[in-house]
């Protein structure tokens, strides 16, 4: 075994950076049982409260009876079921694109799309706060990797104007997963069109939550339902949609290229078709249950008001991701632990996920949270603030 592993792990632990898994013993919800204890949870991405919805549970049961449990083959061999095909058509229509392609995870979708579309003669321009999957995809593509400061479109414009790359791909989160803020999408699209660049937008945390009927960040009012042919749209199906998987939506030639060339699509077993059947029900609930997004919006407003007096400040975010900036990793871990002792789960986010000195508590809100849940969290944080 590599001799330095133990020492490296020990050093991570001393720095308060050692990650540990918790064992969940209940369905995902605002109230969970973990390691034998009940908790109020502010740590999942189940923004609409669909992960344990009875209609989805029933659809999984029906899907299993019709299709069995596993796909048992890749999409390209014998694992592309009718449920997958119907869902792809529904997702394309919902997102407003000609075609869509299912992937097992958002990570695989980003890796597959980027590496299939650009290579050594090309250039990728990436927001510095992008998700790790986008950064890894850029590195794997072997294209020139150019990062620009968060949301600095003037510098992006400048760097696009000086490249002589064959293909230019701009990659950006739509909602930044550790900040909670929304990318300036109309301006991003305009800069890309100016320089004949393609924009890959990762809407993992916007799909189902933002825009008309939860159709995502491209349907926000200031976007005017932007659907430039130069946009490639990725969204995940295990967050607001409450199930599992991801999809890429784009022009037909892009999707066909991914089918032919995206390794993370071609060389893996297809997701169980019963999940695709459940996602059709989820998509219907996302469209029709506007009350879920209304409750979520109310929860965001209430939390902001309740935490105003704390010595730590929330980052500016209008999304369910509400980061409470702490600073040092050890203090963030300490506050998270004290909340856990009070029966409240809020994760401490530390380097390397975020920059040094910007450790935070990442409060994730759901439509399932009640006003009393938010007050309980606020009161606990106020108590802790007097002690640290």
| Residues that constitute the known binding site | 19, 106-107, 131, 177, 205, 236, 353
Summarize the annotated binding site for pyridoxal 5'-phosphate as residue ranges. Answer: 106-107, 177, 205, 236
Contact indicator for 344, 39 with CB cutoff of 8 Å: yes
Task: Select from 222, 269, 267, 212 the least CA-distant residue to 245.
Answer: 269
Instruction: List the helix and strand counts (H, then E) for the chain.
Output: 13, 14
Task: Select from 130, 136, 132 the least CA-distant residue to 148.
Answer: 130
Q: What are the structure tokens assigned to 212, written together?
A: 């008309």
**Alpha-helical regions (H) of 162-262:** 185-194, 252-261
Q: What are the structure tokens assigned to 73, written together?
A: 């083959």
Task: Select from 322, 295, 294 the least CA-distant residue to 310.
Answer: 322
Please give the DSSP secondary-structure letter assigned to residue 127: E
Half-sphere exposure of 364 (CA within 13 A, CB side): 24
Phi then psi for residue 240, to 5 deg, are: -60, -35
| Bridge partners of residue 327, in order along the sequence | 359
The CA–CA distances, whole Å, from 120 to 185, 221, 286 equal 27, 38, 40
**Cβ–Cβ contacts within 10 Å for residue 144, how many?**
16
Task: Select from 238, 209, 131, 203 the least CA-distant residue to 366.
Answer: 209
- Strands 144-148 vs 123-127: parallel, antiparallel or unpaired: parallel
CA dist 81 and 72 (Å) reads 11
Omega prior to 206 cis, within 30 of 0: no
Place of tokens 């969970």: 32
Helix then strand then coil, % of the chain, to nearest 5: 45, 20, 40
Q: What is the three-class DSSP state of 19?
A: coil
Summarize the annotated binding site for substrate as residue ranges. Answer: 19, 131, 353
Largest CA distance in the chain: 61
Q: What are the structure tokens assigned to 330, written together?
A: 């050890």
């Amino acid at each position: 075994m590599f001799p330095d592993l133990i020492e490296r792990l020990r050093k991570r632990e001393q720095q308060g950076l050692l990650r540990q898994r918790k064992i969940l013993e209940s369905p995902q919800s605002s109230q969970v049982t973990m390691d034998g204890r009940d908790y109020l949870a502010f740590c999942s991405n189940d923004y609409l409260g669909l992960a344990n919805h009875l209609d989805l549970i029933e659809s999984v049961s029906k899907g299993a009876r019709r299709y069995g449990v596993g796909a048992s083959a890749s999409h390209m061999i014998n694992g592309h079921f009718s449920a997958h095909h119907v869902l792809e058509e529904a997702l394309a229509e919902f997102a407003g694109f000609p075609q869509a392609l299912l992937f097992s995870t958002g990570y695989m979708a980003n890796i597959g799309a980027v590496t299939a579309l650009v290579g050594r003669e090309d250039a990728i321009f990436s927001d510095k706060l992008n998700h790790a999957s986008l950064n890894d995809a850029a590195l794997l593509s072997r294209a020139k990797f150019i990062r620009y400061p968060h949301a600095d479109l003037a510098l992006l414009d400048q760097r696009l104007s000086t490249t002589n790359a064959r293909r230019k791909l701009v990659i950006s989160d739509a909602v930044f997963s550790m900040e909670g803020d929304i990318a300036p999408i109309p301006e991003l699209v305009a800069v890309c069109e100016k320089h004949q660049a393609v924009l890959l937008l990762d809407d993992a945390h916007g799909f189902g939550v933002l825009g008309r009927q939860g159709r995502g960040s491209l349907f926000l009012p200031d976007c005017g339902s932007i659907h430039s042919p130069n946009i490639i749209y990725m969204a995940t199906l295990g967050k607001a949609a409450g199930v599992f998987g991801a999809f890429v939506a784009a022009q037909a030639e892009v999707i066909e290229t991914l089918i032919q060339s995206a390794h993370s699509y071609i060389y893996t077993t297809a997701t169980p078709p019963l999940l695709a059947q459940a996602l059709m029900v989820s998509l219907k609930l996302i469209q029709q249950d506007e009350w879920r997004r209304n409750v979520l919006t109310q929860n965001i407003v209430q939390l902001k008001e309740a935490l105003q007096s704390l010595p730590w400040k929330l980052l500016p975010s209008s999304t369910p991701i509400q980061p409470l900036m702490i600073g040092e990793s050890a203090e963030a871990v300490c506050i998270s632990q004290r909340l856990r002792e009070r029966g409240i789960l809020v994760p401490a986010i530390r380097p390397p996920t975020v920059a040094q000195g910007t450790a935070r508590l990442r409060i994730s809100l759901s439509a399932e949270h009640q006003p009393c849940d938010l007050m309980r969290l606020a009161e606990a944080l106020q108590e802790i603030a007097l002690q640290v």
